């Protein structure tokens, strides 16, 4: 073992020492306590040996959170639910499926919002946000929700390849699906926001597609907007993280990259989309909660976009907001902040996707 690798082992062992997870207080029942205890052990294994145990256990925790999100959104879904095309196939393989939501009384081709779900690249599901998609579609948009491959079974940049296949399919099948093939927005939450931002950069930043190894399938002029909620956009910010946030991020990124020393992998470095932007990036709406561990990512991304002259709107909150707004605050439509973001987002999409 080299001196550098030995140092990595010592750092990982130290990081694994404190196994407290902030989710404990949110899941008081015995089943969740047992699952969190298993996740603690899996996190140690991920930091010292393999990312797989923690990735699969965190996937189960994220699924519990996704179910809670779905329950919270259900009362806010529009009556009637609109029209739904379920599991539209956009390519080969079990993950190449998307759901397409349309307003109940739609007429004529609609602009399309493509929303990538979160879940740390290892979990989440398009179905968890079904009522969110219905809420957005009811405002006059088509909303496409793709499934994409998850780590550790599939690794970077496979979700981006699927994103481009989904865009190509929506564009090619626009007449059949009732879509306007000239007006698209890319959107997502958490890891899905990173995928959406990276896909937008693939379309608009010269040379970036070659660096990533994924060809864009949409012309820049057809990409009218991005909505980026609570995402991670710069791997370098991991150095500033501490405690549980750092340990969980390390486990997720090892699973997604397939690399133990992912910060030193030049191929995976391209996932830091904040360093691969251009003035051609589409107008962006960026949001994050004041108490989100990923807050610095959104603030950095917004600064860099604005510095390039990209039209950038933000929904940020001051320190000390009451109540504190944690990760994925925007899906809490019982709270003022979640309703504020939804209103801002719909107005933003109205402007950017207007014919």
pLDDT per residue over 136-194, tens digit each?
999 999 999 999 999 999 999 999 999 999 999 999 999 999 999 999 999 999 999 99
At 323, list the tokens. Answer: 């109540």
pLDDT at 217 over 70: yes
pLDDT at 305 over 80: yes
pLDDT at 55 over 70: yes
Between 29 and 78, the higher pLDDT residue: 78
pLDDT at 18 over 60: no
Residue 319 CA to chain centroid, in angstroms?
Answer: 24
Q: What is the pLDDT of residue 48?
A: 56
Annotated domain spans of the chain: 65-352
In terms of DSSP H, where are the helices of 49-129? 52-73
User: Average pLDDT of 332-345?
Assistant: 98
C-alpha angle 90/92/97, rounded to 5°?
40
CA distance 303 to 254: 28
pLDDT at 12 over 80: no
Q: What is the pLDDT of residue 145?
A: 98
C-alpha angle 219/349/103, rounded to 5°?
100
* Domain 65-352 = CATH 3.40.50.1820: yes
User: Look-up: residue for tokens 């009637």?
Assistant: 80
Percent with pLDDT over 90 in the chain: 74
Confidence of residue 228 (pLDDT cuts 50, 70, 90): very high
User: Average pLDDT of 204-223?
Assistant: 98
Using a 10 angstrom Cβ sphere, with 0-12 exposed, 13-18 middle and 19 or more buried, the burial of residue 28 is: exposed
pLDDT at 47 over 70: no
CA distance 68 to 327: 14
Range name among 12-26, 40-54, 83-97, 111-125 with the lowest pLDDT average: 12-26
pLDDT at 20 over 70: no
Between 260 and 71, the higher pLDDT residue: 71
């Amino acid at each position: 073992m080299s001196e550098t690798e030995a140092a990595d082992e010592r750092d990982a062992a130290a990081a694994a020492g404190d196994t407290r997870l902030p989710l404990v207080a949110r899941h008081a029942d015995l089943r969740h306590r047992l699952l969190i205890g298993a996740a603690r052990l899996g996190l140690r294994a991920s930091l010292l040996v393999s990312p797989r145990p923690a990735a699969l256990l965190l996937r189960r925790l994220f699924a519990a959170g996704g179910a809670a999100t779905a329950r919270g959104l259900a009362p806010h879904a529009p009556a009637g639910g609109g029209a739904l095309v379920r599991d539209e196939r956009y390519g080969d393989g079990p993950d190449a499926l998307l759901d397409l939501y349309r307003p109940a009384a739609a007429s004529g081709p609609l602009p399309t919002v493509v929303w990538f779900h979160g879940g740390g690249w290892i979990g989440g599901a398009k179905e968890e946000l079904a009522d969110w998609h219905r809420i957005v579609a009811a405002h006059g948009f088509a909303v496409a929700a793709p499934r994409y491959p998850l780590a550790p079974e599939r690794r970077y940049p496979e979700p981006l390849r699927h994103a481009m296949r989904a865009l190509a399919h929506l564009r090619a099948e626009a007449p059949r699906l009732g879509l306007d093939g000239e007006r698209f927005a890319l959107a997502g939450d958490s890891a899905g926001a990173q995928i959406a931002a990276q896909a937008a950069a693939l379309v608009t930043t010269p040379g970036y597609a070659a660096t990533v190894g994924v060809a864009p399938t949409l012309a820049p002029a057809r990409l009218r907007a991005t909505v980026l909620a609570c995402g991670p956009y710069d791997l370098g910010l991991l150095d500033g993280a501490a405690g549980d946030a750092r340990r969980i991020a390390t486990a997720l990124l090892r699973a997604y990259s397939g690399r133990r020393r992912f910060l030193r992998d030049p191929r995976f470095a391209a996932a830091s989309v904040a360093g691969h932007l251009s003035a051609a990036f589409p107008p962006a709406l960026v949001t994050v909660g004041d108490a989100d561990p990923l807050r610095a990512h959104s603030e950095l991304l917004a600064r860099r976009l604005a510095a390039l002259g990209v039209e950038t709107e933000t929904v940020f909150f001051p320190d000390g907001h009451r109540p504190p707004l944690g990760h994925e605050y925007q899906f809490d439509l019982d709270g003022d902040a979640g309703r504020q973001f939804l209103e801002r987002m719909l107005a933003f999409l109205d402007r950017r996707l207007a014919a």
